[in-house]
Amino acid sequence: MFRFTIRDVLWLTVVVACLAAWWIDRAGLSSANNALKDEQAELRMAALRAKELQGQIILPMSPNLPVRSLERRGFELPHADDKP
């Protein structure tokens, strides 16, 4: 039969706590990254709609067309690092 000392249990607690903290942190980063990607897509679509209202471009089909679909069709979309 195995015998565990208090020291072994404390080390196990430390390891489990570190792994749990790491996992929670990674889950938070993933959801924050997804939120930023969604916000960036919305901003890029808003920029496209503004250009369409100014008459600079004509968006194909629906104004709710996803940004990635527009990129696949060959449309140049403004990026955050692009200067107007």
| Model confidence pLDDT, tens digit, residues 2-35 | 788 999 999 999 999 999 999 999 988 888 888 8
* Nearest residue to 57 via CA among 40, 41, 44: 44
Going from N- to C-terminal start, the domains of the chain cover 6-72
Which of 12-21, 50-59, 66-75 is the least confident region? Answer: 66-75
Q: Which residues contact 70 (CB under 8 A, 6 or more apart)?
A: 48, 59, 60, 77
Predicted TM-score (pTM) of this structure = 0.44
